[in-house]
Amino acid sequence: QVQLVESGGGLVQAGGSLRLSCTASGSIFRINAMGWYRQAPGKQRELVATITSGGSTNYLDSVKGRFSISRDNSKNTVTLQMNSLKSEDTAVYYCNAQVTTQRTFIQRDYWGQGTQVTVSS
């Protein structure tokens, strides 16, 4: 059993900033990649940013230069700093982690419950 708990979502005006955090807990043996995805109503989920255990990052083109992903391996936490927010960034943001559990030693993707980010224009 692994839980991903997100925080930091909310309402912000265009041009503003928001910081999302996600902490994984439970029967964790190790975590490989962690990342953030988002889904707007009626649209498919898309990758926003990912970061490997070694620190390599990958970003959605439309957020490059505005968003920054980081992680604290000692705390199993991943953070997404979002700057210069646009109305197009409005979506539910989901934390993702590739986790190998202590009990089964099988890797699988785990997801947070999602946190709403709303950017007003």
What value does the mean pLDDT take over residues 46-67? 97
What value does the mean pLDDT take over residues 34-40? 98
pLDDT at 20: 98
Euclidean distance between the first and the last CA atom of the chain, given in angstroms as a whole number:
40
Q: How confident is the model at residue 81 (pLDDT cuts 50, 70, 90)?
A: very high
pLDDT tens per residue, range 85-95? 999 999 999 99
For residues 94 and 114, give the distance between their C-alpha atoms in angstroms, rounded to a whole number. Answer: 4
What value does the mean pLDDT take over residues 16-26? 98
For residues 115 and 93, give the distance between their C-alpha atoms in angstroms, rounded to a whole number. Answer: 5
Look at the block and give the residue holding tokens 């890797």.
107
How many beta carbons lie within 10 A of that of residue 115, not counting itself? 22
pLDDT tens per residue, range 95-118? 999 999 998 899 999 999 999 999
Look at the block and give the residue holding tokens 């947070």.
112
